[in-house]
Structure formats: structure tokens, C-alpha cells
Amino acid sequence: MNRRIYFDNNATAPLSPLVAAQLPVWAEHFGNPSSIHWGGRGPKTCLRDARKALSELIGCDPLEAIFTSGGSEANNLVLKGLFFHHQFKASPRKHYLISSVEHPSLLEAAAFIKRLGADIEIFPVGPGGKIDLEDFRSRVREDTALVSCMLANNETGTIFPIKKMAHIAHEKGALFHTDAVQALGKMYLSVKDLGVDFASFAGHKFYALKGAGILFSKRGHYLEPLIHGGGQERHRRAGTENILAIASFGLMAEQKKHLEEKLAHMSLLRNTFEAELLKRISGVTITAGEAPRLSNTSSVVIEGIEGETLLMRLDMEGVAVSTGSACSAGSPEPSAVLLNMGLTRRQAQSSLRVSFGWYNTAGEVERFLDILERTVLRIRALEQERDLNSLEAVI
């Protein structure tokens, strides 16, 4: 029996057994989907079927989905693609309004276009992940090209009021992008209902292979491609398609029919975990616990505990969790997202992110709670001992 526990589904999700079973079949389709001989037909069908299933999943037309290598590329494509597109206009809009809690792939792309002349404004997200819509409205300008705010945050699971924000942006003629990478499979979503112009997705957060993502780009909008070359993706993203990764993403899209059951399952795990944690360990607070949240994400502050230390000790027990976003793991700095959501440096450094997935079980939650309680008590006892020793040394 595998005793290891994986509660880091926001970093990446394990491969679905459905995908694993299908891999040898897709591997047969080695041809280039652009080939017009027999070798191209199988992969072309895989591509077409995946595009159809995925566009139904996210609520768009198949031709509005541009396949990318993942979420980072989709975020880069929208920001740089729109900026470069505006360079060809007589009077380009220069202002880009971006939330303070975005993923680095969005913030770094913004920093890059700023060096090229874009006017980048970062708007704040208040304590508990609350966005002040009136403040937001006052920041959208006549020359705002794009507003970007994620649908759900990777660290706390906070869900932002995208539909209202997109409406406000559109009143000034600005376009709206949402990074929906963390939302897929964790909440109901439809890009049409949200009213956004662009949205980013990644297959590996959704139990598919790494290497495939989507940028939803509403019909009628134009982005300069990041990769020029062949005519793939209707000239919006050149390069031979990653058929295996795309097909696996498409297969997972067909699981939409089980979403209600999956959401209820993850909510139960998350709620049980939080309720028991608060009972068993003192000095615990749930970050942004009052805000609308993804059903799977729990971000907690455990007073007096160094997140990195806890993470390493849990790892030794076979438990995979996170202290911040996976992409910034390894950095001793407290998470900027948590600081931007109103946590102090100390609280942010004592944070633990537990993200559940479709394939986790109640038994794993039970075992994790036992391990966590034991580990926290041990760290606290050691800290107390150390404090006493240093006090004795002073005396």
C-alpha cells in the first residue's frame, strides 16, 4: 500500500488513471497532424476531438481555443500578444491593469512589456482577498488596453468577482483576461458566462499530461503570436502540436459530467480537514476563510511554526504539501500573494497550503491530521526547549 500522501494538487495534479490507460493508444498516433497522408489523420482527429471537448468544458467555440504549452505560455501570449498588436495601431492603448496577486507568469510578462513602454498599474486585493469594486472602477481608464485578474488564487483558493469586473472594464472599452488555471476541475466555469475576452488554462492542473494549455481568445480579438512559423492554431501559435498532452487534456474535459460529485468530494475533504485542524491544534487560522473559495484549497497559518521547517518534516513522513505557490518554493521570502492579502510577514512564513484533488481520500485526511498534529507539537516542544536553553545561557 502506498503510504505517501499528495495534498499539493494546486502545484500539479497526478495523472488520471483514465489518461494513463489511454497513453499507448495515443502513442500510436505519431504522425504530424498537418500531414495529409494516413499518418496525419489519427493525430488530426485527436486534436479535433480534444478541441471540441475542451471548448465545451470552458464554454466557448472550438476555434476560440488556442493550444499552448501550458498556463505560463497562455498568460504570456495574452499580455505580450496584445501589447505587440497595439504597436501596429495608430493610437495604441497603453495602460494595463493587473491584480497584485497574479501568478509570476503574468506579473513577469507585465514587467517585460513595461520595459517596452507599456503603462502597468497593479491594483490591490484587500485583506481576505476582497476586491473593492468602486476602487477598481476608478482605475480603469479610457486608454486601458487590458485588465487581468485571476479567477481563483493558487495559494488561498479565493475566487474573485470576475463577471462584475469584466463588465466594469468593458464600460471603458478595455478587454478583460482571467487566469483560470487553478479553477479548472475545482469549480463550475464558463468563459461566456464570465463575459471575459481571454482566459488561460493548463492541462497538468487537471489530471492531464504536462505540456498542454489553452488561451481562450474571443472571436474578433487579435493577438500577435509569440511563436511565428507554420499555420498551426490558425496562425496564432506555430509549431507541431503536442498531441499526447492535448489528447489527455481533452479526455479529462469529458469528465465534466462528474464535476458535481468531484466538487462535493473535495469540499468534504477540505471542510473535514479544517474543522478537525481547528479542534486539534491551537493557534490556527484559515486564510481568507470567509471569502468565496475553491472547494479544494486550504491555506492555514499555524502560529509559531516556520512553514519551511514544517514542510520538510512532513516530507520526511511522506506528505506533500506547500508553503506558498509551487513556482516560488525554495525561496525563503514570505509569499507576496499572502502579504498582498493582508497577512503579516510572520503569518505568511507560518503558512501551509493544503490542496486536495479528485483522487484523495478521507482516510488520507485522517492520517494527515495525525501526522500534522504530532509534527506541530514536536516542533513547538523543540522551540520551547531551545528558548529555555538560551534563557539559561543568559542567566
Ligand X SMILES: Cc1ncc(COP(=O)(O)O)c(C=O)c1O
- Contact stretch for ligand X (CB under 6 A) within 107-115, 215-223, 235-243, 324-332: 324-332
Footprint of ligand X on residues 68-127 (CB under 6 A)?
Answer: 70-72, 75, 103, 105
Query: Which residue sits closest to ligand X, CB atoms considered?
Result: 71
SS3 86: helix
Rounded Cα distance, 288 and 98, in Å: 20
Amino acid, single-letter form, for residue 347:
Q
User: Minimal distance in Å, beta carbon 309 to ligand X?
Assistant: 23
Footprint of ligand X on residues 24-43 (CB under 6 A)?
Answer: none
Rounded Cα distance, 14 and 29, in Å: 24
Relative to beta strand 5-6, strand 319-320 is parallel
Nearer to ligand X, 40 or 211 (CB): 211
Rounded Cα distance, 23 and 115, in Å: 43
How many residues at the interface with ligand X, by CB under 6 A? 17
Q: Which value, to the nearest 10 degrees, does the dihedral of the CA atoms of residues 328, 334, 339, 341 take?
A: 50
Relative to beta strand 65-68, strand 213-217 is antiparallel
Amino acid, single-letter form, for residue 185:
G
| 182 lines the binding site for ligand X (CB under 6 A) | yes
Report which of 304, 303, 305, 308 is spatially closest to residue 324, judged by C-alpha positions: 308
User: Minimal distance in Å, beta carbon 159 to ligand X?
Assistant: 12
Find out whether 163 and 195 touch, Cβ atoms under 8 Å: yes
Report which of 295, 288, 299, 294 is spatially closest to residue 266, judged by C-alpha positions: 295
Neighbour tally for 388: CB within 10 Å: 10
| 294 lines the binding site for ligand X (CB under 6 A) | no
User: Minimal distance in Å, beta carbon 9 to ligand X?
Assistant: 11
What character string, x for contact with ligand X (CB under 6 A) and - otherwise, covers 354-393?
----------------------------------------
User: Minimal distance in Å, beta carbon 152 to ligand X?
Assistant: 8
User: Minimal distance in Å, beta carbon 326 to ligand X?
Assistant: 6
Nearer to ligand X, 95 or 103 (CB): 103
- Which uninterrupted H or E stretch holds 299? strand 297-302
What character string, x for contact with ligand X (CB under 6 A) and - otherwise, covers 132-151?
------------------x-
- Contact stretch for ligand X (CB under 6 A) within 108-116, 177-185, 251-259, 334-342: 177-185
Name 101's bridge partners.
none
Rounded Cα distance, 78 and 178, in Å: 10
Q: Which value, to the nearest 10 degrees, does the dihedral of the CA atoms of residues 20, 155, 281, 392 take?
A: 120
Nearer to ligand X, 200 or 360 (CB): 200
- Classify burial at 339, counting beta carbons within 10 Å of its beta carbon; exposed 0-12, middle 13-18, buried 19 or more: middle
Nearer to ligand X, 323 or 325 (CB): 325
Q: Give the one residue of 327, 362, 382, 388 binding ligand X; rule: CB under 6 A.
A: 327
User: Minimal distance in Å, beta carbon 66 to ligand X?
Assistant: 14
Does the active-site annotation cover 149?
no
| 213 lines the binding site for ligand X (CB under 6 A) | yes
Annotated catalytic residue, options 46, 60, 149, 327: 327
Nearer to ligand X, 25 or 327 (CB): 327
- Contact stretch for ligand X (CB under 6 A) within 31-39, 246-254, 322-330, 353-361: 322-330
Rounded Cα distance, 99 and 101, in Å: 6
Rounded Cα distance, 334 and 331, in Å: 8
**Cell numbers found for residue 169:** 472594464
User: Minimal distance in Å, beta carbon 56 to ligand X?
Assistant: 21
Nearer to ligand X, 54 or 376 (CB): 54
Nearer to ligand X, 97 or 109 (CB): 109
Catalytic residues: 327
Applying CB under 6 A, the residues found at the interface with ligand X are 70-72, 75, 103, 105, 150, 154, 179, 181-182, 202, 204, 213, 325-327
